[in-house]
Amino acid sequence: MKLKDYSLLFIFVIVGYMAFAQQKVSGTITNTAGQPINKVEVYDKVSGRLTTTNTQGYYEFSTEKTDITLVFFSYEFKIKEVQITINGDVVLNQTLEPLGEELTAVEITARKTKVFELSRLRDVEETAIYAGKKTEVVLVEQSMANLATNNARQIYSQVAGLNIYQNDDAGLQLNIGGRGLDPNRTANFNTRQNGYDISADVLGYPESYYSPAAEGLKEIQVIRGAASLQYGTQFGGLINFVMKEPNPNKPFELVTRNTLGSFGLYTNFTSVSGTKDKWSYYTFFNYKRGDGFRPNSEFESKNIFAHIGYQLSERTKLSAELTYLDYLAQQAGGLTDNMFNEDPYQSNRARNWFEVDWLLYNFKLAHQFSEKTNFTFNFFGLNATRNALGFRTNRVDQVDPGQERDLIKGNFNNYGFEARLLSEYKLFNKDATFLIGSKFYNANNSQQQGPGSAGIGPNFNLQTEDYPNYPDQSDFDFPNLNIAVFGENILYLNDKFSITPGFRFEYIKTESEGFYQRINTDAAGNVIFEETVEDNRDFERNFILLGLGLSYKPNSNGEVYGNISQNYRSVTFSDININNPAFTINPEITDEDGFTVDLGFRGNYKRFVSYDVGAFALFYNDRIGFVQKGLDDGRVVSERGNIGNAVMYGVESLFDFNLKKILRMNNDYSFNYFINTSIIKSEYTSSEQSGIEGNEVEFVPDLNLKTGLRFGYKNLMANAQYTYLGRQFTDATNSLESNLSGVIGEIPEYDILDISLSYTYKMFKLETGVNNVFDNAYFTRRATGYPGPGIIPSAPRNWFTTLEVTF
């Protein structure tokens, strides 16, 4: 750690006491009988949700605005709008009138959607700071996407610049990247559920084998690279899945959704929730099965989620959550380019299987020390396994000989906690907001590779005794320890301009303990060389990441924002210690670092249009990727290692036009048009590898476009979405043609059209849609390992129909 890092940190701490004020608005919301109303949502009509009342009906927020229109929303009460002028602290008590009729959950959601268009996080949410950051919120409850299959192309349609792998028709895994980051299992984002980690190992193996059921989500929060200070060092930033909350007004509510679709798809989602006195609960069961759109691609999944909350006092709430996922999927294998061109949906792998068993648990304490100081404590843990079994070879077109299969077993056991304290403090009679937090994370994971059975079915037991001469055998433990301290401070220099400096101190200790075997055989299978290699590594480091956010709000309709933040990504030992026939690993592979910059303007102009336009740059040092290397024997192999330094830069924009208001349509209608565009350029600026400098960076389509229309009349809604992505490379050599394994080569441009409809009637809701309307044959992924290696095709035209019933 350099002296200048300490100096900058010291400056940030000192500056934290030099803030100017915001003004406080508070009050109590009651019904006509004078009883307090819990969970009334308080909105700024222009910018979105501000806060929610507690069990005593009390709400409070701070703002720099002098004029504001507040909207008070509750499920069983009439919406109320109040325009106020703020000159100092304001106490605003309100009384809400009952609706006089009982609404279904679907009608409530529709009613809320017509009034509000919410897409960004406030400067402060509970014990987190988002001022000056690029934030995007996917309102899943309002989405018309195919939620039953977690269709990411539709769900994330208004999040700028995301690059998505689309290779299964059940949404069992989420694969998203962006800005040149590999989408594989969302490993370049810090993925969380209700604020706690859910990936296999945040540092040693940050891949997300579990993806929450979209039908159980309230919203998805996406915070770009500047999230590295509060949540983790990843270049991508944060993706936080926010689950639906218990119904605050009923002791029992049941919602069931059943979906039928193409290729034998059937899913069931059933949830129950409610609130009784100080107790609240929300739980669901999600079942999926199907045959898949290729031969040898059947799947079955079971997912359970349970949340229970207890309001210990007016200022203290306890909650506990448990998530369990078990799924088994047959994998049809990858294709070469020739195979894809002959028949994109063929399969020559009938014995490849993949199994995930995922158990997450969480305990949370939220306490309000005072009206100005909030504290949260999150304890979380994971107990999980991941097993991959099948015939893998460098020649993807080779017929499976029916011999023993390659088996890779992973066990993930980790736990940790994160404590956060957020406080408003006064200096010179002015307010500022300060956040300090710490995180402890301990993992003890293991991974084995060796011979699997010679059978057909999913037998995930190692068969070492039956096949002692199997060449690819290894057994490793991966104990990891991570301790972090972080802080940010919003400093309001005046009523329009704020700066938010921040820091994150990281201590990381990554270990690898185990062995691998080298066994060479002759053509007859006789062992001619055998060696057991002990491979024990200990990698310890500590460093500070710094960042700064800026926000300028010239009026209540718009904001100019910017930020710069350092990033860091640890190399994963689990990648190093796996033998893969499709590529080799450079033994000198090491960590990556760099920083991201965002600058943009966003807002909502008189509710005619919601917009967010920004430019970004991502500076990447020692980027890990693939290059093609020639060997002395004339062979050319793919090697994974540190390629060099790279830069990705571009412009991202989202415009959402409220055509209903523009065309002056009455309240029976809703009509919106959006266009989401990302234009990115990239380049390797330096590299010790020959022929790399000046090349384009992998996973960077030059144009990423999503656009769509959404039209509604009373209880009928219709949606159409068009997606286009330009050509992208998969290796730093910028290979256009593939090799025998299909791992490298370009991903051609593709475009997709999706349509969907929904209709609600009292307690019923019917949804239907067609994805890939024009039945385009395309692919978005060249897998380096399972489910490949090789080209993994995307789904052809398919349909779905969902019936939802609420009791």
Domain ranges within the chain, ordered by starting residue? 23-100, 241-806
Helix (H), strand (E) at residue 283? strand 279-290
**Strand 94-96 to 23-31 pairing:** parallel
Tell me the HSE value of 350 on the side-chain side, using a 13 A CA sphere: 9
Q: How many helices (H) and strands (E) does the chain have?
A: 6, 43
* Residue 690: exposure state from Cβ atoms within 10 A (0-12, 13-18, ≥19): exposed
* Tokens of residue 314, six digits: 């007016």
Q: Among all chains, which residue has been given the structure tokens 């034998």? A: 264
Q: What is the DSSP letter of 450?
A: E
The pLDDT of residue 659 is above 80: yes
Q: Among all chains, which residue has been given the structure tokens 């919003």? A: 490
Q: Do 798 and 261 contact (CB within 8 A), yes or no?
A: yes
d(CA 242, CA 127): 15
d(CA 379, CA 358): 17
CB within 8 Å of 561: residues ≥ 6 apart: 132, 133, 134, 549, 550, 551, 552, 598, 599, 600, 601, 602, 614
d(CA 582, CA 572): 18
Please compute the mean of the pLDDT values over residues 488-505 and round it to a whole number.
93
d(CA 627, CA 692): 8
Residue 22 is predicted with a pLDDT of: 64
pLDDT in tens, 233-288: 999 999 999 999 998 888 999 999 999 999 999 999 999 999 998 999 999 999 99
CB within 8 Å of 170: residues ≥ 6 apart: 149, 150, 265, 267, 288, 290, 299, 301
d(CA 388, CA 354): 5
* Tokens of residue 25, six digits: 């608005």
pLDDT category at 1 given cuts 50, 70, 90 is: very low
Residue 521 is predicted with a pLDDT of: 63
Q: Determine which of 118-127, 219-228, 298-307, 624-633 has the lowest per-residue pLDDT on average.
A: 624-633
pLDDT category at 501 given cuts 50, 70, 90 is: very high
The pLDDT of residue 106 is above 50: no
The pLDDT of residue 7 is above 60: no
Select from 101, 103, 80, 100 the least CA-distant residue to 92. Answer: 80
Residue 633 is predicted with a pLDDT of: 59
* Tokens of residue 262, six digits: 């193409």
Residue 575 is predicted with a pLDDT of: 57
pLDDT in tens, 668-693: 888 999 999 999 999 999 998 888 99
Phi, psi of 285 (to 5 degrees): -125, 130
Tell me the CA end-to-end span of the chain in Å, nearest whole number: 59
Q: Do 755 and 708 contact (CB within 8 A), yes or no?
A: no
Q: Among all chains, which residue has been given the structure tokens 């995180």? A: 439
Q: Do 478 and 205 contact (CB within 8 A), yes or no?
A: yes
Residue 244 is predicted with a pLDDT of: 95
Select from 593, 582, 589, 574 the least CA-distant residue to 688. Answer: 589
| Average pLDDT of the chain to the nearest whole number | 89
Same fold, 23-100 and 241-806: no
d(CA 100, CA 537): 68
Select from 570, 571, 553, 572 the least CA-distant residue to 562. Answer: 553
The pLDDT of residue 110 is above 70: no
Residue 108 is predicted with a pLDDT of: 52
Select from 180, 43, 182 the least CA-distant residue to 122. Answer: 43
| In this structure, CATH architecture of domain 241-806 | Beta Barrel (2.40)
The pLDDT of residue 731 is above 80: yes
Select from 44, 38, 51, 218 the least CA-distant residue to 116. Answer: 44
The pLDDT of residue 55 is above 90: no
pLDDT category at 101 given cuts 50, 70, 90 is: low
d(CA 474, CA 574): 11
Percent of the chain with pLDDT over 70: 91
Please compute the mean of the pLDDT values over residues 752-769 and round it to a whole number.
95
Q: Among all chains, which residue has been given the structure tokens 């959704």? A: 257
Please compute the mean of the pLDDT values over residues 609-616 and round it to a whole number.
94
CB within 8 Å of 171: residues ≥ 6 apart: 149, 150, 151, 152, 211, 214
Please give the radius of gyration of the chain, using alpha carbons only, rounded to the nearest integer: 27
Residue 4 is predicted with a pLDDT of: 43
Question: 23-100 belongs to which CATH class?
Answer: mainly beta
Residue 429 is predicted with a pLDDT of: 72
Phi, psi of 294 (to 5 degrees): -125, 155
Please compute the mean of the pLDDT values over residues 313-333 and round it to a whole number.
96
Q: Determine which of 99-108, 177-186, 600-609, 695-704 has the lowest per-residue pLDDT on average.
A: 99-108
Sheet holding 41-44, edge to edge: 48-52, 41-44, 67-73, 80-85
**Strand 430-451 to 189-193 pairing:** unpaired
* Tokens of residue 639, six digits: 């090697």
Helix (H), strand (E) at residue 9? helix 3-15
CB within 8 Å of 454: residues ≥ 6 apart: 402, 403, 404, 405, 463
Q: Do 399 and 415 contact (CB within 8 A), yes or no?
A: no
pLDDT in tens, 61-96: 888 778 888 989 887 788 888 989 888 889 999 999
> What pTM, to 2 d.p., does this model score?
0.88
